[in-house]
Amino acid sequence: MSKVLLVVPEAPAPEAAVSAERRKAGTSGLRFGVLDNSKGNADHLLRFITEGVRAAVPVASVVSLRKDSVSLPAPGPILDQLAAQADFVVTAMAD
């Protein structure tokens, strides 16, 4: 009988990030952020998510940004804009 080597492809859990400030939705509603990773159909999935959020909670504004490359992280200016203009951000992958 030969040995079988099992490799578990799980990265260690990252340490919890500590937020410098707690964000709260304003009285006029949530500032909702969307980050499209530019993968096929991600825009459709994110549109459905945005519609669902709008149906569930008051939304004051939506800022929707798109990365240029699926394989690269979002550039700093995109992340900075989302941090400044959104209380909550979702991103999704699709195909």
| pLDDT for the residue numbered 23 | 57
Please name which of 74, 81, 77, 83 lies closest in space to residue 23, comparing C-alpha atoms.
83
Q: Are 45 and 89 in contact (CB under 8 A)?
A: no
Predicted pLDDT of residue 6: 72
What are 13's strand-pairing partners? none
Stretches in the chain below the pLDDT threshold 70: 1, 11-26
What pTM, to 2 d.p., does this model score?
Answer: 0.70
Q: What pLDDT is attached to residue 80? A: 95
